[in-house]
Amino acid sequence: MDACLALKQPTLVRREVATLTVSYKSQSDHDLIELTRKGEESAYAEIVARYQNPLTNYLYRMLNDYEEAVDLTQEAFVRVYLAIERYHSGYAFSTYIYRIATNLAITELRKRKRRKLFSLTGLFQFDGDEEVEFQPPDKRETPDLETVNKEKSVVIGKAIAALPDKYRAPIILREIQELSYEEIAEILELGLGTTKSRISRGRGLLRDRLKDYLGR
């Protein structure tokens, strides 16, 4: 009997893990945080799995540097985990983690400004008192559609990364992360009106800069 149990055990264990994983996937962010508080690291692993790609994408668009984006995403998860006792479910977990990521990105951008680490190939334009990097569009004819799309995405990415800080985060959160105005307002701790106007102004700036790509 015991031998039979022993033979069946690996299967049982596998099933339990599978059930556990399934149960984690069906649980809300708040529930997972609660489980993490109780010491279940697997619950936090599920949180990481849920948000690692959106956060990496967001930070990559903010910083236009993949390695830095990955590092800051990791830092955001570490900070959330170490301060998990202080987290309260007053607002969505996504808002909480995006806020942390945004603050990390803004800090990094400020550091960059101090170090004056700007692209050597870029031209500099001044919008108010903020430095803006501008990439001129490449107007060469390219027969391959894939190459054209690749080039487009590079130019758009650079145009976004060159937006002033106050427009960049709302634009990325709205146009790339596809969050609602309300969520963006919460993440950035801004009023709804201010959030909308920043997004509108950011889009206006992008339209101007990407004129050569619009209507091609």
CB of 7 vs another protein, minimal distance in Å: 31
Please report whether residue 181 would count as binding another protein according to CB under 8 A: yes
CA distance 25 to 29: 10
How far apart are alpha carbons 105 and 148 in whole angstroms?
A: 30
Compute the least distance from the CB of residue 178 to another protein, in Å: 9
Q: Report CA-CA distances (Å) from 131 to 59, 142, 179.
A: 20, 31, 27
For residue 124, list its beta bridge partners.
133
Does position 175 bind another protein by CB under 8 A? yes
Candidates 14-22, 112-120, 124-132, 200-208; binding stretch for another protein (CB under 8 A): 200-208
CB closer to another protein, 20 vs 70: 70
Residue 167 and residue 169: Cα distance in Å, rounded?
A: 6
Q: Least CB distance from residue 79 to another protein, whole Å?
A: 9
Q: Of the two residues 125 and 153, which places its CB atom closer to another protein in the complex?
A: 153
Is residue 210 part of the contact set for another protein (CB under 8 A)? yes
Instruction: Work out whether 70 is an interface residue with another protein (CB under 8 A).
Output: yes
37 near another protein, rule: CB under 8 A: no
Minimal CA–CA distance to 160: which of 193, 202, 123, 125? Answer: 202
- Binding of another protein by 163 (CB under 8 A): no
Least CB distance to another protein at residue 121 (A): 21
Instruction: Please give the size of the binding site for another protein, defined by CB under 8 A.
Output: 39
CA distances from 88 to 24, 67, 92, 102, 103 (A): 20, 31, 9, 19, 19
Using the rule CB under 8 A, which residue among 21, 52, 137, 164 binds another protein?
Answer: 52
Tokens found for residue 139: 């107007």
9/142 with CB nearer another protein: 142
Phi and psi at 116, nearest 5°, equal: 55, 45
Rounded CA separation 209/204 (Å): 9
Query: Residue 190 in 3-state DSSP?
Result: coil
Query: Can you give the binding site for another protein, defined by CB under 8 A?
Result: 41, 45, 48-49, 52-53, 55-57, 60-61, 66, 69-70, 73-75, 77-78, 81-82, 149, 152-153, 156-157, 175-176, 181, 196, 199-200, 203, 206-207, 210, 213-215
